[in-house]
Amino acid sequence: MKIIQNGTLVTPEGEKKASLAIDNGKIVKIGNITPGSDDEVFDASGCLVFPGFIDGHTHLDLPVGGNVTADDFESGTRAAAAGGTTTVVDFATQYKGDTLINALNTWKKKAEGKAHVNYAFHMAICDWNERTKKDIKALRDAGVSSIKVYMAYDTALTDSEILGVLEAVKPFGCIVGCHCENGDVINMRQKQLVESGRTGTDAHPLAHPAEAEAEAVSRFCYLGKLSGCPINIVHLSTALGLEEVRKAKSQGVQVFVESCPQYMILDDSKYELSDFEGAKYVCSPPLRKAKDIYALREAVVNGEIDTIATDHCSFRFDTQKTLGRDNFTKIPNGCPGIEHRPVIMRHIFGDHLSASDYCRLMSENPARVFGMYPRKGALLEGSDADITIWDPDIKWTISAKDMEQNVDYTPFEGMDVKGRPRLVLVNGETAAENGKACDSHYGEYISR
C-alpha cells in the first residue's frame, strides 16, 4: 500500500488531519493508519491533500482552420499533471457529415497511450439531424454524459437545433454546455471593424461585446427552461452575462456556471500591447473590463460559479498567432492555462476561499456536474486515488521557460505565486513531483 501521512485532508466533511491509504489505484482507508514494513510512505507535513483537480474544459490536439493546437494529449496532460490536475474533460467534435460515435473514437485515439492524467470527452454536436438524434443512446452508452453546443462560429447550431438537442438528450440524463455568444453580432462587428481599417488586436474585444454574451446566455437559459434539461454556461466572462444567469436561476432554470482564471485576473488592456503581443491574449470570449473581473470574483466567493476550468487551447506565438498579424480575425483563438489553473486560483483568491471551497470549484463540482462523483472529486474510501498534495508555502515565478506546456508563452508570465503540488497521483501512481511531470502514462478514459 501507499500511505500519505501527516497532511491535512480536504474531504467532503471538511478539513481533517488523517492518514490515507492507497491500494490498487483506490483510496482504501482514511483515518489512523499504522504503516507496515512493505508500505510506501509519503510525508505530507505542512501540505493540503486534495482530491486531484479536474479541468472540465480543455482543447488538446484540436484542428482549427488548417492549424492544430500546440498541445496534444501528450504535452497537454503532462502540463496538467505538473500543475496538480488529474482529470481533464476535453471535447470530441462532430463535424458536418460525421457521426457522434466516429467523432468520439477519433478523439479517443488522439489520447490513447499518451495521457498522463485521466480524460473524458464532452461531445460537441455540430450537425443536428435525425441520424445524430438516433446516435444519442449509443453515445450515452459509450460513457458521454455531457454535450456542447455553440451559438457562434462555423460550429454553431440554430436555436431550434439547440432546443432539439436539449430535448433529445434530457431523457438520457445529460447536461448541455454552450458557448454563449451571439455569432451574428460577432460576424457583423468583425466585418465592420476590418472594413474601417481596425485590423489590430485592439479590435478583438470590440468584436465581442459583453451584450453578445449576455444575450446568448439569456437565450440559452430560456431554451434550457423550455426543455427542462440541465445546462452549463461555459467560460462566463461578463458581469452582464452573470445578471442573465441570476434571472434564469430565479425562474428555476437548472443552470450551472463555469468560468476561467484568465477572466478573473487579466483585462482587455492586454489587446493594446505593442509588437502584436496582444495576440497572446486573443481568445473567445475575450478578456474583459475590471468591473467584469470584480463581478466574477464576487460570484466565485458567493458560490454562484460552480466550476473553474481553463478553456486551454494553445497556439504558438511565433508561428501560429502570427497568421493574424495583418488581420485580428485570422488570429487562432485560445490561450494556454492547463498547467497554471490551480496556482492562479490560489493566487487570485488566497484566503478568501477556504480549502473546502477551493476543492469544490476545482474537484468536487466538476466531478458532480460531469457525472464522475464520487469516483472522482472526493477523498473517500472507494474513490479513485487521484490525489494532489499541495504545498501552500512554495514561492515561485510563472515562466514559459520553465513549464510543461508545449507553447512558447504563458499569459501569466512573470507572476509571483505561492503554492505548488509536491506530489500528484493519478490512479494511485506518481504522475508528477515538485511541479515536474513524470514520463509514464497512467491516464485512463473515464466512462461517465
Size of the site for Zn ion (CB under 5 A): 1
What's the closest the beta carbon of residue 416 comes to Zn ion, in angstroms? 28
Q: Which stretch binds Zn ion (CB under 5 A): 39-47, 185-193, 311-319, 423-431?
A: 311-319
Distant-in-sequence, close-in-space partners of 13: CB < 8 Å, separation ≥ 6: none
Residue 264 amino acid letter: M
Cα→Cα distances 209→239, 240, 287, 374, 437, Å: 12, 10, 11, 39, 39
Alpha-carbon gap, residue 444 to 448, rounded angstroms:
12
Distant-in-sequence, close-in-space partners of 37: CB < 8 Å, separation ≥ 6: none
Cα→Cα distances 279→120, 153, 200, 269, 284, Å: 30, 19, 9, 12, 12
Site string for Zn ion, 8-47 (x = CB under 5 A): ----------------------------------------
Nearer to Zn ion, 370 or 442 (CB): 370
Nearer to Zn ion, 21 or 147 (CB): 147
Window 243 to 272, contacts with Zn ion (CB under 5 A): none
Nearer to Zn ion, 183 or 428 (CB): 183
Nearer to Zn ion, 153 or 222 (CB): 153
What's the closest the beta carbon of residue 258 comes to Zn ion, in angstroms? 10
What's the closest the beta carbon of residue 391 comes to Zn ion, in angstroms? 30
Q: Tell whether residue 311 is a contact of Zn ion (CB under 5 A).
A: yes
Distant-in-sequence, close-in-space partners of 195: CB < 8 Å, separation ≥ 6: none
Nearer to Zn ion, 9 or 236 (CB): 236
Nearer to Zn ion, 148 or 297 (CB): 148
What's the closest the beta carbon of residue 419 comes to Zn ion, in angstroms? 26
Cα within 13 Å of Cα(198), Cβ side:
15
Residue tagged 506518481 (cell numbers): 430
C-alpha cell at 287: 478578456
- Which among 390, 398, 363 has a CA at the least distance from the CA of 377? 363
Residue 11 amino acid letter: T
Q: Which stretch binds Zn ion (CB under 5 A): 39-47, 93-101, 305-313, 413-421?
A: 305-313
Nearer to Zn ion, 213 or 311 (CB): 311
What's the closest the beta carbon of residue 310 comes to Zn ion, in angstroms? 9
Q: Tell whether residue 61 is a contact of Zn ion (CB under 5 A).
A: no
Q: Which stretch binds Zn ion (CB under 5 A): 60-68, 224-232, 304-312, 374-382?
A: 304-312
Alpha-carbon gap, residue 344 to 278, rounded angstroms:
20
What's the closest the beta carbon of residue 311 comes to Zn ion, in angstroms? 4
What's the closest the beta carbon of residue 430 comes to Zn ion, in angstroms? 30
What's the closest the beta carbon of residue 384 comes to Zn ion, in angstroms? 25
Q: Which residue is nearest to Zn ion (CB)?
A: 311
Please answer whether residues 248 and 227 qualify as being in contact, where contact means their C-beta atoms are separated by less than 8 angstroms.
Answer: no
Gyration radius (Cα) of the chain, Å: 21
Strands 429-433 and 436-437: antiparallel
Q: Which stretch binds Zn ion (CB under 5 A): 92-100, 196-204, 207-215, 303-311?
A: 303-311
With b for 16 or more beta-carbon neighbours within 10 A and e for fewer, the 147-159 pattern comes to bbbbbbeebbbee
Nearer to Zn ion, 267 or 311 (CB): 311
Distant-in-sequence, close-in-space partners of 332: CB < 8 Å, separation ≥ 6: 64, 65, 67, 282, 315, 320, 321, 323, 324
For the stretch 245-249, contacts whose Cβ atoms lie closer than 8 Å and that sit 24 or more positions apart, written own/partner, are 245/217, 245/221, 245/304, 246/304, 247/218, 247/221, 248/217, 248/218, 248/221, 248/222, 248/224
Please answer whether residues 163 and 222 qualify as being in contact, where contact means their C-beta atoms are separated by less than 8 angstroms.
Answer: no
What's the closest the beta carbon of residue 119 comes to Zn ion, in angstroms? 15
What's the closest the beta carbon of residue 57 comes to Zn ion, in angstroms? 6
Nearer to Zn ion, 89 or 210 (CB): 89
Q: Which stretch binds Zn ion (CB under 5 A): 130-138, 139-147, 276-284, 309-317?
A: 309-317
Nearer to Zn ion, 335 or 372 (CB): 335
Q: Tell whether residue 55 is a contact of Zn ion (CB under 5 A).
A: no
What's the closest the beta carbon of residue 59 comes to Zn ion, in angstroms? 6
Q: At what angle do helices 210-227 and 159-169 cross, to 10 degrees?
A: 40
Which residues contact Zn ion by CB under 5 A?
311
